[in-house]
């Protein structure tokens, strides 16, 4: 079992209203060398909060989460940081259209399965 940290990735189309849609999750495990973000934006739910939201801009910013997690030069200067520092940068509080929840911790033995479970319980709309 390894300890991991995660945060939900939220889209807040009108920051002044504080309403948001969970659009993904980012998971980090220092011991397992794991850092990954998965995005599953429900565009209909987001448009219900703001019919005028710029979806192209939102998609581009959400895609940046996955790129920064993957790291490397293509992710810019942040992508060259160690994985744990990239996670901290991604989860730093901000008041923009893309925000993260507070960081939560847990323990698991399979990070990919945990990431999928977090998407099921926190991001995907109930069936």
What pLDDT sits at residue 117? 94
* β-pair partners for 108: 2
What pLDDT sits at residue 1? 85
pLDDT category at 32 given cuts 50, 70, 90 is confident
- Coil, strand, or helix at residue 85? helix
Query: Is residue 95 pLDDT above 90, yes or no?
Result: no
What pLDDT sits at residue 127? 76
Helix ranges restricted to H, the chain: 43-49, 55-70, 76-79, 83-90, 111-118
φ and ψ of 10, to 5 deg: -120, 145
**pTM of the entire structure?**
0.93
CA atoms within 13 A on the CB side of 22: 18
């Amino acid at each position: 079992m390894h300890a991991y940290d995660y945060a939900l990735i939220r889209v807040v189309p009108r920051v002044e209203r504080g309403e948001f849609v969970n659009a993904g999750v980012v998971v980090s495990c220092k011991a397992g060398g794991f850092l990954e973000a998965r995005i599953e934006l429900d565009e209909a739910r987001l448009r219900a909060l703001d019919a005028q939201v710029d979806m192209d801009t939102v998609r581009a910013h959400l895609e940046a989460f996955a790129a920064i997690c993957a790291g490397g030069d293509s992710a810019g200067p942040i992508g060259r940081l160690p994985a744990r520092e990239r996670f901290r940068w991604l989860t730093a509080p901000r008041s923009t259209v893309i925000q993260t929840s507070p960081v939560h911790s847990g323990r698991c033995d399979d990070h990919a399965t945990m990431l999928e479970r977090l998407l099921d319980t926190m991001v995907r709309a109930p069936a």
